[in-house]
Amino acid sequence: MQTTQMLKGIIDGCILSIIHEGEVYGYELASKLDSYGFESFSEGTIYPILIRLQKDQLIQSTLKKSTAGPKRKYYSLTEKGVEELAGFQKRWDHLSSTVNLILRKGE
Amino acid sequence: MQTTQMLKGIIDGCILSIIHEGEVYGYELASKLDSYGFESFSEGTIYPILIRLQKDQLIQSTLKKSTAGPKRKYYSLTEKGVEELAGFQKRWDHLSSTVNLILRKGE
DNA sequence: AAGCATACCTTGTTTTACAAGATCGTTTAA
DNA sequence: TTAAACGATCTTGTAAAACAAGGTATGCTT
């Protein structure tokens, strides 16, 4: 069991939250997640999630020129995405308090 | 995205922690998880996890008579399981503080 | 003996995380 | 001017996880 294996589904919410801070493109998102403390996220993890979130109409994208390199695909939240983020926050609060309760008891 | 879908890997740690509190059998574990706040855990989720944890030698089991119904398989932590639980707690602390940081920023 | 609650397990599906690698555009250095 | 280096995206394939659904067995109660 490694750190990353317990993140399933949670990254989605974190990505929504980071996008909610302000438009980002995938490559940038990877380094932001890293700087927040999620170290082992390759692009092979992130891009499929972005594609899935867009398919679910939680985020939308626009292409913009890069200062160097190919065009960047900037993502922003849709209205549905904002709602989903709020839902995730509630679920996260519930989850984290439940886990904390169990872990404290088990000491 | 539903509540249960973001629990992957985390339940393992919670189950280890509950077993650490004291011997439990699978059926009992299901109701304990429920009372702690995890509502949607069917036995189809729990038994496979118990089998996996035992295969990984994190828990061990003994059969005991039930007051009513078939024999119960009581689980307890192995030494390796205790270590794994400690590791999970560290990972959980790291994960939850990271997620909280991201969620607070994204407001 | 029929039904119910207790208790366990298996099968099959879907989703997820992730490694690995392919592709493409721009800048910079040889 | 060619090629390396970097910025940026996407695809493919694999393994594991979560879960619904269903199956089996035991013992108690009526």
Identify the helix (H) or strand (E) that includes residue B62.
Answer: strand B59-64
**Structure confidence by residue, pLDDT tens digits, A78-105:** 999 999 999 999 889 989 999 999 998 7
- CB-to-strand D under 7 Å, chain A 8-27: 8, 25-27
- CB proximity under 8 Å: A 7-66 to B: 7-10, 12-14, 16-18, 20-21, 36-38
CA atoms within 13 A on the CB side of B42: 1
A47: its two tokens: 């891009």
- State mean pLDDT over B62-88: 94
User: With left for phi above 0 and alpha for psi between -120 and 50, is residue B22 left, alpha or beta?
Assistant: left
For testing contact with chain B, the best of A29, A32, A82, A95 (most B CBs within 10 A): A95
- State mean pLDDT over B89-93: 90
From the CA of B26, how many Å to the C1' of C4?
A: 20
What is the structure's pLDDT at A1? 38
Nucleotide nearest to A68 (CA to C1'): C26
pLDDT above 60: residue B45: yes
- DSSP secondary structure string for all residues of A31-77: HHHHHHT-----HHHHHHHHHHHHHTTSEEEEEE--SSSSPEEEEEE
In terms of C-beta density within 10 A (0-12 exposed, 13-18 middle, 19 or more buried), how is residue A3 classed?
middle
> Residue B30: which pLDDT band, with cuts at 50, 70 and 90?
very high
Q: Could you give the domains of chain A? A: 3-105 (1.10.10.10)
Name the one residue in this structure whose structure tokens are 């979130």: A53
Q: For every one of its 107 residues, what pLDDT tens digit does chain A have, with 9 covering 90 and above?
A: 344 566 778 899 999 999 999 999 999 999 999 899 887 778 888 999 999 999 999 999 999 998 888 999 999 999 999 999 999 998 899 899 999 999 987 76
A94 contacts B3? CB cut-off 8 A = yes
Evaluate whether B1 touches A8 at the Cβ level (below 8 Å): no
Phi first, then psi: what are they for B65, rounded to 5°? -60, 145
- What are the residues whose beta carbons fall under 8 Å from the beta carbon of B3, sequence distance 6 or more? A91, A94, A95, B39, B40
pLDDT above 90: residue B68: no
